[in-house]
Amino acid sequence: MFTQRRNLIFLFFGIIGLLFIGKLFFLQVVDDTYEKAADNNAIRKIIQIPFRGEVYDRFGKLIVYNTPVYDLYMIPRKAVVKDTNHFCQVFRVTREYFIKTTQRARAYSRVKPSLFLKHLSKEDFASVQDAMVDFPGFFFETNAFRTYQSRSFSNALGYVAEISPTALVDQKDDYYRQGDYVGISGIESFYEETLRGQRGVKYRMVNSNGVEKGDYKNGSLNINPISGNNLYTSIDLEIQEYADSLMQHKVGSVVAIEPSTGEILAMVSAPSYDASLLTGNNFSNYYQQLALDPMKPLLNRPPSAYYRPGSTFKLVQALVGQQLGFIGPGTVYSHAGAPVKCHVHGPVDLRGAIRVSCNPYFYHAFRKMIYDNTSGDTYERSATGLQRWADLVANFGFGRKLGVDLGNEKKGILPNVDYYNAVYKGEKSWKFSNIYSISIGEGEIVVSPLKMANLAAIIANRGWYIPPHVVKGVGLAKSIDPFYKTPVKVGVEAKYFNVVIDGMQDAVANGTVGPDGKIPDILMVGKTGTSQNQKGKDHSIFIAFAPRDNPKIAIAVFVENAGFGGSAAAPIASLVVEKYLKRKVDRKAVETKFMNMNYLPNAYGGIVRKKLAIDSTKK
């Protein structure tokens, strides 16, 4: 009776069993969302930020390093503080802070660590070590602060800050996450990828309360962080700081290059800022203040500022004119027929023209270069002549990037045919009489101090340069891009440099440079420049190298609104050169005079004095 019912019952069991197996097949094999959900549940990805590379000067002195700071964390469930007074005494916090922070940590999570105290210094960290046994549930995590040894190099170094939302979107390799720190300008930006190192990743298992339970898959997926590479710069920190001290109360730049290597010895941008204040919580306040400052302290002037080169450009004209065959050491011009002004003196040859910085001389010389002693349509001849001229001048680095290893290098402007066609809206709508200002470095031509220092190096080398660079070695191997080892020829034969260098020697000895710009025991050769601008008084410019034979330093100094080139720029350059070559300065009176010299009222008037007052109280 009813024995067949067993089979019916078992059929029912079997159907249910199959239904379960089917559903399980779907859950476990077909649908992989659960697997991902499980990983999200139980695996916590921890990013480990490596130490950023340090930056050294040419003698191995530290310029930028990382200061370890210690953040104190607490786990409320484990934290037992028997004696609150003792605790507050050890960590130097108020009772209110203790109560408030503890409560906030508890409200966040009883089992996950909460930040209790931020940025304890190494000394503070050491002093509380002994007491830590009394405070279970509290522990330290190491963090790092970018610390800048010297304020003088801030602009070239750049700074490190949280990545901006736009940069986050624009990044190429998806490396950065929100809140990551990234080099913003200068070296920090240019060498970002080598400085930052390789981020580490740890996969930790966590339970449902978020408490860590060891490495996932025994740590086989973990990647250890790799510290960033150190940078060995060519900066001479002593010279850098000295040049910076000379640029106090001034706006402008000092760039010094070792001509034989293209290594930048010093690069001062004035006014500067305190990079150490651009870290952490101060960032937004201080950044605002700097960004609004009319003197633009955030601008790294040497590679990025725009100036007319003024008379220093006459050196290029003298070289290019000779190479093109239009002038020679014996070429003599008088003031007659030139629309440019000059001082009272008679007709001069090329050497003399450089000594006294004769405007009409270079007007005539440039006219000759443009018109090529031929006749015909002046418009057409202007175009042909200018292009030939501009192609040669471009070799000196004008109107293009030199490739310095700093962010934000500007091209500057070297006016050529296309440029004037655009300005005058059409071909053959301009001729020499429209463009002659550039013969003496005024008008449309725009350069940066770095280019002018490089020009001094080119002349010192008699016709070649190595692209200027700040970093001479990266990482343990101290390797460097071959680009910064390869000389670039400018296309002017070495013999044409003699007369120019003679003229520069005369300019320093008994030409446009005054007594403050002369170094008694060093043969420095140079050229002054006076750059017209809209801000007010002319900018004072001086480029030079020394010693004349076997030059060790080429320098360009720009002092904004300081007037004639011999007045401020030449003495400052001479002091830096003297300091570099002798490691000391004998002309103390000149040094004191120019350290205290203040050219700011010429352009910034009242605002500046107020600002300075703030600056001085900060120091």
Partner 1 sequence: MTDSNHIQGRLDWITVGFYVFFIGLGWLNIYSAVYSPDAPLSFSDPAFYDSNAGKQLIWIGTSIILIICVLVIDFRFFESFALFIYLGLLLLLIAVPFLGVTINGSHSWFKFGSATIQPAEFAKTATALLLAKYLNDPLVNLSKFPFQWKVALIILIPMLLIIGSNETGSALVFASFIILLYREGLPGTYPALFIGGIALFVSALLVKAWVILLVLVLLAGLLVLFMPIYMQRDPKTYLRLSGAIAGIMTLALLVDWVVNNVLKEHQRNRIRVLIDPGFDPRGLGYQVTQSKIAIGSGGFWGKGFLGGTQTKFDFVPEQSTDMVFCTIGEEHGFIGVMLMILLFLGFLWRLMYLADLQRSRFARAYGYGLVGILFFHFLVNIGMTIGLMPIMGIPLPFFSYGGSSLWSFTILLFIFLKLDSHRSDMLSR
Our finding on whether 2 is near partner 1 (CB under 8 A) is: yes
Site for partner 1 in 339-358 (CB under 8 A): none
The DSSP output letter for 223 is B
Q: Which of 144, 206, 417, 595 binds partner 1 (CB under 8 A)?
A: 206
Interior/surface letters 194-227, b for 16+ CB within 10 angstroms, e for the rest: bbbbebeebbbebeeeeeeeeebeeeeebeebee
**CB nearer to partner 1: pick between 24 and 291:** 24
Interaxial angle between packed helices 497-510 and 449-461, expressed in degrees from 0 to 180 and rounded to the nearest 10: 110
Our finding on whether 219 is near partner 1 (CB under 8 A) is: no
**CB nearer to partner 1: pick between 9 and 607:** 9
Q: Which of 90, 93, 111, 205 binds partner 1 (CB under 8 A)?
A: 205
**CB nearer to partner 1: pick between 44 and 411:** 44
Smallest distance, Å, CB 142 to partner 1?
23
Torsion angle of C-alpha atoms 325, 330, 334, 338, degrees rounded to 10:
10
- From the list 2-10, 154-162, 464-472, 522-530, the region that binds partner 1 by CB under 8 A is 2-10
**CB nearer to partner 1: pick between 207 and 285:** 207
Smallest distance, Å, CB 33 to partner 1?
7
Smallest distance, Å, CB 22 to partner 1?
10
Terminal Cα-to-Cα distance of the chain (whole angstroms): 107
**CB nearer to partner 1: pick between 13 and 108:** 13
Give the rounded distance of the alpha carbon of 430 from its chain centre: 39
**CB nearer to partner 1: pick between 93 and 205:** 205
- From the list 4-12, 332-340, 412-420, 588-596, the region that binds partner 1 by CB under 8 A is 4-12
- From the list 12-20, 247-255, 284-292, 594-602, the region that binds partner 1 by CB under 8 A is 12-20
DSSP H helix total and E strand total for the chain: 23, 18
**Residues that contact partner 1, how many (by CB under 8 A):** 38
- Alpha-carbon span 388 to 520, nearest angstrom: 41
Site for partner 1 in 149-178 (CB under 8 A): none
- Alpha-carbon span 144 to 181, nearest angstrom: 11
- Closest Cα partner for 204 from 225, 188, 192, 218? 218
Q: Which of 14, 68, 337, 475 binds partner 1 (CB under 8 A)?
A: 14
Check whether the bond before 547 is cis (ω within 30° of 0). yes
Site for partner 1 in 41-80 (CB under 8 A): 41-43
Question: Which amino acid appears at position 566 of this protein?
Answer: G
- Alpha-carbon span 141 to 123, nearest angstrom: 15
Beta carbons within 10 angstroms of residue 394's beta carbon: 15
Q: Tokens 């949280």 belong to which residue?
A: 162
Q: Which residues pair with 568 in a beta bridge?
A: none
Beta carbons within 10 angstroms of residue 338's beta carbon: 19
Site for partner 1 in 15-34 (CB under 8 A): 16-17, 19-21, 23-25, 27-29, 31, 33-34
- From the list 48-56, 75-83, 155-163, 200-208, the region that binds partner 1 by CB under 8 A is 200-208
**CB nearer to partner 1: pick between 88 and 111:** 111
Our finding on whether 220 is near partner 1 (CB under 8 A) is: no
Q: Which residues pair with 446 in a beta bridge?
A: 413
**CB nearer to partner 1: pick between 201 and 205:** 205
Q: Which residues pair with 147 in a beta bridge?
A: 65
**CB nearer to partner 1: pick between 4 and 534:** 4
**CB nearer to partner 1: pick between 24 and 509:** 24
User: What would you measure as the largest C-alpha separation in the chain, in angstroms?
Assistant: 142
Tally of CA atoms within 13 A in the half-sphere of 425 that contains its CB: 0
**CB nearer to partner 1: pick between 166 and 208:** 208
- Closest Cα partner for 572 from 583, 587, 561? 587
Give the rounded distance of the alpha carbon of 536 from its chain centre: 27
- From the list 205-213, 224-232, 243-251, 392-400, the region that binds partner 1 by CB under 8 A is 205-213
3-state helix, strand, coil in the chain (%, to 5): 45, 20, 40
Smallest distance, Å, CB 220 to partner 1?
13
Smallest distance, Å, CB 204 to partner 1?
11
Which residues here bind partner 1, judged by CB under 8 A?
1-3, 5-6, 9-10, 13-14, 16-17, 19-21, 23-25, 27-29, 31, 33-35, 37-39, 41-43, 205-209, 213-214, 216
